[in-house]
Structure 1
Amino acid sequence: MEKAIDDGVNVISMSLGGGIADYYNDSVAVGASAAMERGILVSCSAGNAGPNYYSCLSNVAPWITTIGADTLDRDFPAYVSLENGKNFSDVSLYSGKPLPDSLMEFIYTGNATNVTNENLCMVGTLIPEKVAGKIVLCDQGINARVQKGSS
């Protein structure tokens, strides 16, 4: 940031952030303050955490223009056909290789976890042998949906 200031830029745009440190301990906030004092606009990302009760917003110093997005500009169609003939379509965050056309077993995470009363698909709680090759239903809450899918 010091180099950008010395080079005489008008805008500094950074897509990085950290935790919620006091302004004097946050290197981005300190650098942005120096830039702002010289009339340079500093724009930073709001971060990628959330939306949960423990969500962390980055770059909250009042002299930083903090930018966040709440939607994706794309989706991945997902189709499910059940054995009883019911069909469902929606979107998914999964963009990997397509699932097989044959029927797949469906399992509730409560029947495949190594932690009592843990149905959220938290990282490290699913028993790999019980979920491999199956569609797993996780309860909503605490951890992000993308994290559930990587569990």
Structure 2
Amino acid sequence: MGVARGGAPRARLGIYKACWVGGCPDAAVLAAIDDAIYDGVDVMSLSIGSVGKEIPGTLHAVQRGTSVVFSGGNDGPVPQTVTNAEPWVTTVAASTIDRSFPT
């Protein structure tokens, strides 16, 4: 009960399913992006990074004022690199370390 606020209390959020057991068809991803633009979301976070392939609809979203963020995929051209074919989106990558911390 009550109101939850974070770092962007006026941001509009929406969750759209575009990936299924067989993968993430371009048509489903494009439909989700179009729905998000129409619904007025502020930021799209797509955790479907794909090496060397443009995700349809992302340039249109950015042109409409929506920030688009991708996962880097963490399997870039060589170890410890990421890749992104779209310079208009922000790419975020995870990292690992070579140590363990047993408890």
- The alignment's C-alpha RMSD in Å is 2.6
Shift of 1:56: 5.8
Contact 1:20 1:56 in 2 (8 A): no
> How far is the alpha carbon of 1:17 from its aligned partner?
1.8
Deviation at 1:60, TM superposition (A): 3.2
* Structure 1 residue aligned with 2:69: 43
| 1:60 counterpart SS class | coil
> 2:74–2:94: 8 Å Cα contact kept in structure 1?
no
Counterpart of 1:10 in structure 2 is: 42
Runs of 4+ in 1 over 3 A off after TM superposition: 74-77
Q: Which has a greater percent of strand?
A: 1
Q: What is the rounded CA distance, in whole Å, between the counterparts of 1:67 and 1:56 in structure 2?
A: 9
Matched, 1:52 2:58: no
Is the contact made by 2:46 and 2:71 (CA closer than 8 Å) also made in structure 1?
yes
CA distance 1:51–1:60, change in 2 (3 Å):
closer
Q: Which runs of no fewer than 5 residues in structure 2 stay unpaired? A: 1-32
Query: How far did residue 65 of structure 1 move?
Result: 0.6
Number of aligned residue pairs: give it.
68
Task: Name the residue aligned to 2:90.
Answer: 65
Tell me which structure has the larger Cα radius of gyration: 1
Cα distance change on mapping 1:20 and 1:50 into 2, 3 Å: closer
Task: State the Cα deviation string for residues 72-98 of structure 1 (Å, max 9, x = none).
Answer: 6x9354xxxxxxxxxxxxxxxxxxxxx
% same residue: 43
Structure 1 unpaired stretches of 5+: 78-151
For residues 56 and 70 of structure 1, do their structure 2 counterparts lie closer, same or farther at Cα, with a shift above 3 Å needed? closer
Q: Which residue of 2 aligns with 1:31?
A: 57
Offset at residue 48 of structure 1 (A): 2.5
User: TM-score, length-normalised on structure 1?
Assistant: 0.38
State the alpha-carbon separation in 2 of the partners of residues 33 and 67 from structure 1: 17
Normalising by structure 2, report the TM-score.
Answer: 0.54
Higher relative contact order (CA 8 A, sep 6+): 2
- 2:76 and 2:65 map into 1 onto residues whose CA distance is 32
